[in-house]
Amino acid sequence: MPINAHPEYMAAQKEYLMAQTLEEKIEKLKKMISAAPKHKGGENLRAQLRARLKKFLEQQEKTKKSGKGKQGIKKEDMQAVIVGLTNSGKSTLLSLLTNAVPEKSPYPFTTKSSVIGIMKYSGVNIQIIEVPSVKSEFYDRGLVNSADSIIILVNTLEQISEIEKELQSSVGKRIIVFNVIDKNTDLRKLEATMKTRRIEPLIINTETEEGLEQLKENIFKSFGKIRIFTKEPGKEKSEKPFIFNSNTSVKNVAEKIFKTMTKIKETRIWGPSSKFPGQIVGLNHELKDLDVVEFKTH
């Protein structure tokens, strides 16, 4: 806080920290400069603010010349974001889960824009996005608020409540992930502490990759989707599954494949919802994740 800062300056600073677009940052920064202390002790502060404004204006001009605005991120059917504090291992986790190659460094606030990757899990493509640190000026609050699932990556239990303060407007399913970066961490003590606090995070280690397969499964389950494979009589099941919401029936799958139900002569299923392999079922039979459906047609 600057010496003898006027309440007007503090209000402008708060607005600046809440700004999300470049245009908003420029507008709020100008208000900060206008309201900054005019005494000699505030000279350094004003110089810093003007330098930052100059950088933003240059960035804005460059964007205008290139003819490109803020790049929107196309939301896929299943989208999860990784949020956390700086140097918590977000970039490393993204690179382990997906095909993305984010910039990684030991310095704070390395990530300055959201990085997209695709996680392949059991024939399903899931969009995973790393957003800049929740304490960074580049933190994309809008993207986090609209995501289907939120992976909260922490290194200490105290960080959970700190991060959740920034997620008050989010609607996505939350997955708390504890990344063990301290080799001296007593896992038994950690698990006991979590149990006492009624916290159930998944413990992983981005160095040894321990817990990653379980995390992938948890991410998929967070969307409330099921994978349904199909097959033709006498042939193997399809390589890629269809993705449906839970409470899906055989009829929903048939509608995805056939124009009319009259073509279907018999339906057999294999998997979790069947009483035995190849069970004959009706169109109203409710399916479960990883079921295989075979349609015999006229």
Token pair 């607005």 is at which residue?
15
Rounded-to-integer distance, Cα 176 and Cα 154, Å: 8
pLDDT for the residue numbered 69? 40
User: pLDDT-based confidence at 99, cuts 50/70/90?
Assistant: confident
- Pair (247, 278) in one structural domain: yes
pLDDT in tens, 219-251: 999 999 999 999 999 899 998 899 999 899 999
SS3 148: coil
- Pair (198, 281) in one structural domain: no
Assess contact for 80 and 125: CB atoms under 8 A: no
User: pLDDT-based confidence at 65, cuts 50/70/90?
Assistant: low
Rounded-to-integer distance, Cα 85 and Cα 109, Å: 9
- Pair (151, 180) in one structural domain: yes
- Pair (53, 86) in one structural domain: no
Which of 183, 176, 217 lies closest to 199, judged by CA? 176
Residue 3 has pLDDT above 60, yes or no: no
Mean pLDDT over 279-290 rounds to: 95
Assess contact for 19 and 62: CB atoms under 8 A: no
Distances (CA, A) of 36 to 6, 58, 252: 8, 22, 62
pLDDT in tens, 187-207: 777 778 877 777 777 889 888
User: pLDDT-based confidence at 1, cuts 50/70/90?
Assistant: very low
Q: How many domains does the chain have?
A: 3
- Pair (214, 231) in one structural domain: no
The more confident residue out of 108 and 15 is: 15
pLDDT for the residue numbered 68? 44
Q: Which domain holds residue 262?
A: 226-297
Rounded-to-integer distance, Cα 28 and Cα 34, Å: 10
Mean pLDDT over 132-141 rounds to: 87
- Pair (95, 141) in one structural domain: yes
Q: b/e per residue, 43-67, with b = 16+ CB within 10 A?
A: eebeeebeebbeebeeeeeeeeeee
Which of 223, 209, 205 lies closest to 128, judged by CA? 223
Does any domain span residue 31? yes
Per the prediction, the chain carries an average pLDDT of: 84
Q: How many CB atoms lie within 10 A of CB 256?
A: 12
The more confident residue out of 97 and 86 is: 97
Q: Which of 196, 222, 248 is the last residue of a domain?
A: 222
C-alpha 187: how far from chain center: 26
pLDDT for the residue numbered 20? 65
Residue 209 CB contacts under 8 Å (≥ 6 apart), including other chains: 96
CATH of the domain at 115: 3.40.50.300
Residue 265 has pLDDT above 80, yes or no: yes
Residue 29 has pLDDT above 70, yes or no: yes
- Pair (168, 103) in one structural domain: yes
Rounded-to-integer distance, Cα 291 and Cα 248, Å: 11
CATH of the domain at 274: 3.10.20.30
Rounded-to-integer distance, Cα 19 and Cα 150, Å: 21
- Helix H, strand E, coil C: the string for 24-43 is HHHHHHHHHHHHCCCCHHHH
Does any domain span residue 2? no
The tokens for 47 are 């110089």
Residue 112 has pLDDT above 90, yes or no: no
Rounded-to-integer distance, Cα 135 and Cα 177, Å: 18
The tokens for 288 are 């479960």
Q: Which of 45, 66, 87 is the last residue of a domain?
A: 66
